[in-house]
Amino acid sequence: MNPEMTLQNAEIQPPATRPWALIAVLCAVAFFAVVASMLGGSVATLASAVFVLLSGSVAPGLYLLGSLGLGVLVQKAVWPGCQRVWSLRAGLGLGAMLTVTHLMGDLGVLTVRGVALVPVALGAAVIIGELLKLRGRRIEPRVSWVWLAATPATGVLLVAACSPPGWLWASEFGGYDVLSYHLELPKEWLAMGRVWPLEHNVYSYLPSFMEAAFLHVGVMMGAGKTGLTSGDGSMLAAAQFLHAGIAIIAAMTTTSAASEVLKRTGDERAQILAPIAGGLVIATPWSVVTGSMAYNEMAVLALFATALVAAMSGELKPIRRGLVVGALVGAACGCKPTALIFCAPACGLAMVWDRPRKIWAMLTLGACVGGLVMILPWLVRNWMAGGNPVFPQLSGIFGSAHWSAEQIERYKAGHSFEGSFFEALRLFVLPESGGAHRGILHGQWAFFGPMVLIGSVGALAIRRTHRMAALLTLMLLMQLAVWLLLTHVQSRFLMPMLVPGAIAVSVGLSCLPVRHLALTLGTLCVLVQSVVTLLIFSLQQADLGGPNVATLFGPGLYASDQLSPIAFLNERLPEGSRVLVVGDAAVLYIETPYAYATTWDTSPMLEVIKAHENPAEWSPALREKGYTHVYADLSELDRLALAGWSDPMLDAGWILNWLAQHATPMYRDQAGNRLIFELP
């Protein structure tokens, strides 16, 4: 007899709704996508969004379909008798496909289109086989009407993903991270033929599961022949659609996790409230902001929620349960390493909750092994590239690779909070001196924080729900402690709290004595989040024509504007030019051969400055390195220096004086901050 003390009831499903709820949800998503695409636009922006959606969604759709097929194979191998079959298949398959993608990239075969199609085709064939088994059976889709409340946000998610990277979302500085590494790294890996660390971009030393997946879908679309940024930008849009699709998966897996938690409260009818948790995940503005960009947050949430399902559901031997949960968390760490501190403790707590202590060791051992197996290829890759398997972390133990001690200290300072614990705690709920929120009351959380607080307190006060409410509250408190102690206290880093927080809301609602009242209030909660998301989207780029203007032009917007430095670099420089970019690292759209470095890395410009005291020698030294032009962003240099993130020797004033005296001016933007000079 298995020693685990788990409920063995069959999975309780809400009443079948025939296809009407599903049809209504799909129609509502389409309607709100049309509405969102015409905000600040016209029929032309709608037509452009439809074109981008049709041209850019096929490859990511096939990638996710193939992932689901791999999930079928993994689930049948590791957990043939599981109850929540499709939620586990979705998460396990996503983790498996991302792992295969990363391994192919490490081995240098991901950029070969025929090879890249193999795992996708295998997974798709499995799904086709599963569908063939259903021939002749009557299938009744079980879709809750609650999802209708999330359709405004889902429509925004799809439309926002149609915009070219770099246009939307002021909170993310127009997607600076996307332009400097989330999509820039796949572009460089495609050129070098391998997913491998690059000394000029420290973020390439992260596991990069999602960045490799962005490359994968691009290669599926023919990026190997034309380049990732070529053509109409559909390959860049495909990366965004991939992440948007994973955001939808995260909502679904959170629903399954909520259903499992609600089942453990002892009220089987309460499970009709589970979709409220999934709706809150997809409707909260932060999910749409990050989910519509080529980021990695939503993959973490999808895998985290699946790990919670695996931790709490069904019958399984402790060692095997630990392996499954650990592998899912390991895959989440492969997408974003902070999952190790935000998700692993929560999943560990869920595994041992309500289970006898005598099996805790086996659960923990299995989880550690499963997680280590998933991240081992990344550790080996980094060790081979720089001698430190977790570079730039733990430099005191494994060494600092190609960095100096000063670079390590600057990186640590830039990725940690300078104030005290209580100052960080204050920022969790109160704004900074300038009025900006860095915590749970950031505008892109909308009303999620108060909802979670009310739901948690209500559930803790009721005997039937207090035990599961205590579990969720402990998860949230652990995540809060991690955010306060181990991060640089930014609101987006709180996103792993979405999963347990949304579940806590659904558990709190289950305490209401009238089920229809609870369902109505929960639906209103989701709808409010959706409306706020729609409003935030409508205000983006308001002074430049609205959120959808760039969809008309695609990435060509950055090249067609003759006033932009990108257009000048791509179209006005003579053949054979090679540009040194100084200050700016958002270089995705530059097509002329170039070199750059993040502020944490050593740029060729800094190497020359340190090697030659006399500025008159800088131009000849750069010429010897093969550079013909310098593109300098003085405002970015000043911003980085003010933040203390750049090397003090890379001073904007010194750069400007040197260029003015020892190079030929070719371009200056209207503000006088972005300059292009030709080296003599």
Lookup result for tokens 């990511």? 60
Residue type, 659: L
Task: Render pLDDT for 63-122 as a digit per residue (tens, 0 to 9).
Answer: 999 999 999 999 999 999 888 888 999 999 999 999 999 999 999 999 999 999 999 999
CB 595, CB 191: distance < 8 Å: no
Task: Render pLDDT for 436-460 as a digit per residue (tens, 0 to 9).
Answer: 899 999 999 999 999 999 999 999 9
Minimum mean pLDDT range among 33-42, 254-263, 384-393, 523-532: 33-42
Judging by DSSP bridges, how do beta strands 594-595 and 674-678 pair with one another? unpaired
Task: Name the burial class of residue 392, with classes exposed (0-12), middle (13-18) and buried (19+) by CB atoms within 10 angstroms of its CB.
Answer: buried
CB 469, CB 456: distance < 8 Å: yes
- pTM, 2 dp: 0.94
How high does pLDDT run on average in the chain? 92
Rounded distance between C-alpha atoms, residue 249 and residue 157, angstroms: 13
Rounded distance between C-alpha atoms, residue 485 and residue 680, angstroms: 50
The pLDDT value recorded for residue 8 is: 37
Residues 6+ apart with CB under 8 A from 439: 427, 428, 429, 430, 489, 491, 494
Instruction: Give the phi and the psi of residue 629 in degrees, each rounded to 5.
Output: -140, 155
Strand runs labelled E in 571-616: 579-582, 594-595
Rounded distance between C-alpha atoms, residue 157 and residue 168, angstroms: 12
CB 272, CB 519: distance < 8 Å: yes
CB 541, CB 549: distance < 8 Å: yes
Rounded distance between C-alpha atoms, residue 584 and residue 184, angstroms: 13
CB 335, CB 210: distance < 8 Å: yes
Residues 6+ apart with CB under 8 A from 284: 153, 444, 445, 446, 448, 498, 529, 533
The pLDDT value recorded for residue 447 is: 97
Higher pLDDT: 557 or 593? It is: 593
Residue 534, CB-side half-sphere exposure with 13 Å CA sphere: 23
The pLDDT value recorded for residue 9 is: 38
CB 632, CB 675: distance < 8 Å: yes
- Counting every residue written for the chain, the total comes to 680
Rounded distance between C-alpha atoms, residue 124 and residue 64, angstroms: 9
Averaged pLDDT for residues 117-138: 89
C-alpha pair distances (Å), 329 with each of 120, 259, 435: 22, 20, 36
Task: Render pLDDT for 217-262 as a digit per residue (tens, 0 to 9).
Answer: 999 999 988 889 887 889 999 999 999 999 999 999 999 999 999 9
Lookup result for tokens 């600092």? 400
Residue 525, Cα to own-chain centre: how many angstroms?
A: 24
Residue 161 has pLDDT above 80, yes or no: yes
Q: Confidence class of residue 286 from pLDDT cuts 50, 70 and 90?
A: very high
CB 382, CB 205: distance < 8 Å: yes
DSSP conformation letters of 128-168: HHHHHHTTT--------GGGGGGHHHHHHHHHHTTSPTTSS
